[in-house]
Structure 1
Amino acid sequence: MVEAVEDRAPFQVLVLPYRQTEGGLLYALFRRLDGAYWQGVAGGGEAGEAPLQAARRETAEEAGLAGDFEFIELDARASIPVVSVTGEFTWGPEVLVLPEYAFGVRADASELALSSEHTEYSWFSFNEAMSAVRWDSNRTALWELDHRLRRSSVAGES
């Protein structure tokens, strides 16, 4: 069901939960109910929200991560055809694509919860996650997040 335009902001968010384990970094992906593919937490902004606010809300709704979690704003951006998101030209004929803003969220000790949009979630290594996701925007955001986390880990060990 498409939300009314007054309730929906013309942007998307992508959030990649991650955790540090003894075996290395792991990334949570969610299998979509309507397409049976893996992706990060994804959703649209609501009217009046900034991308980080939308990322926090979507992460609480889709993964059960509500509260004071550490989010990392990524530089990765994608453009998604508006009709692929809402099924129509929701904001008129001039809004053809929506920007997608990407974030990472640290979820070390947290158990994730599933929304009705997903059938399951799983934790993946970087290489497994890169192979599992369907969308290039997810791969780009995963690469950037992994690089940032590994770089900060190495810098922290110096």
Structure 2
Amino acid sequence: MEVWQFIAGGGEDEDETIIISAKREAYEEANIGMDCNYSVLDTQNSIPTYCFKEARKIWGENCLVIPEYTFAVRMDTTILELSQEHTEYEWVDYNTALKRLRYDSNKTALWELDSKIKLGTLN
């Protein structure tokens, strides 16, 4: 199954803030520096826990949905070092990315990021 999406994950460690969790995941999955400039986007979603293999083990039986937060990161390089969770990456323009993304929440986050860049309001 070929699915293009942004780096996702986190939330396993209850003592982490959402930004620390995002930085950790980006570092673990693509070697994106923890010191890069991250911006929290407003786009949020809820994902049903049945989408995750270890959901009950991680969050317990009564947890039915988990929050999805989105971030932008400014990097000094376009070179990533992918973990085994990923097979490839490609830097593409907005319209190509929009066509490739499967999940509506990812498309919304991409639109928000593009809009903030155009408006000059991205932190």
- 5 Å-filtered alignment, 1:8-157, equals 35-45=1-11, 46-90=13-57, 91-152=59-120
RMSD: 1.6
**Structure 2 counterpart of 1:114, which letter?**
L
Higher strand share: 1
SS in 2 for 1:44: coil
- The answer to whether the 8 A contact 1:89-1:96 is kept is no
- The answer to whether the 8 A contact 1:65-1:110 is kept is no
CA distance in 2, matches of 1:114, 1:106: 17
CA distance in 2, matches of 1:122, 1:128: 10
**Structure 1 counterpart of 2:3, which letter?**
Y
Unpaired runs of 5+ in structure 1? 1-34, 154-158
> Residues 44 and 86 of structure 1: is their aligned pair in 2 closer, same or farther, counting only changes over 3 Å?
farther
Q: CA deviation at 1:123?
A: 0.4
Q: TM-score, normalised by structure 1?
A: 0.69
Higher helix share: 2
**Structure 1 counterpart of 2:15, which letter?**
G
Larger Rg: 1
Divergent runs of 4+, >6 A: none
Q: Report sequence identity in percent.
A: 44
